[in-house]
Amino acid sequence: MTKNEALRILHKIQSYDGRTIGEGDVLAWHEAINDLPVEHVMAAIPRWFGNRDYQGQRLMPGHLRAIVEDLGHGRGLTDLQRTTLRHNQAAAIDACTHCDDKGWINGAIDHDDVGTRTTAFRCDHTNKPLPPGFRPD
Ligand SMILES: [Zn+2]
């Protein structure tokens, strides 16, 4: 997180609680939460102000850290991370010429004992070598 991004975060908070923002605030907030992904912090702000339990409490960096950690806790990924991941995967699949629209490379492998079996491999979109004997469709 850059200091400019910390300022953006403070501006968003300011739109809720009307606090004044000085250069010292930017530096202090940046120091406190610069390890957190900006988009997660931005997503945590409306959760704070939209929750009636928090009314009247002045939002501090530690509150946002707790919300960001809660968002990621127990579900592995936050909604935001999941959405970003989905978008990135969709874009990679779109740009890839090796796999189908679900990210699979379909084909068949000849086995000595059981004959030819259709199978599929998860594509990493890098045109890495396929397993020996695999014939893509
Ligand atoms: Zn692919």
Q: How far, in Å, from the CA of 36 to the mean position of ligand 1?
A: 31
Distance 136 CA to ligand 1 centre (A): 12
**Distance from residue 86's CA to the centre of ligand 1 (Å):** 14
Q: How far apart are CA 40 and CA 2, in angstroms?
A: 14
Count of structural domains within the chain: 1
Tell me, in angstroms, the distance from the centre of ligand 1 to residue 72's CA. Answer: 28
Residue type, 22: G
The pLDDT, as a whole number, for residue 75 is: 47
Maximum C-alpha span of the chain: 75
CA of 42 to the centre of ligand 1 (A): 32
Q: Domain range spanning residue 12? A: 3-136
* Length in residues, the chain: 137
Q: How far is the CA of 125 from the centre of ligand 1 (A)?
A: 4
Q: Edge-to-edge strands of the sheet including 104-111?
A: 115-122, 104-111, 134-136
pLDDT more than 90, % of the chain:
41
Digit-coded pLDDT (tens) for 16-73: 999 999 999 999 999 999 999 998 899 999 989 988 777 778 999 999 988 888 776 5
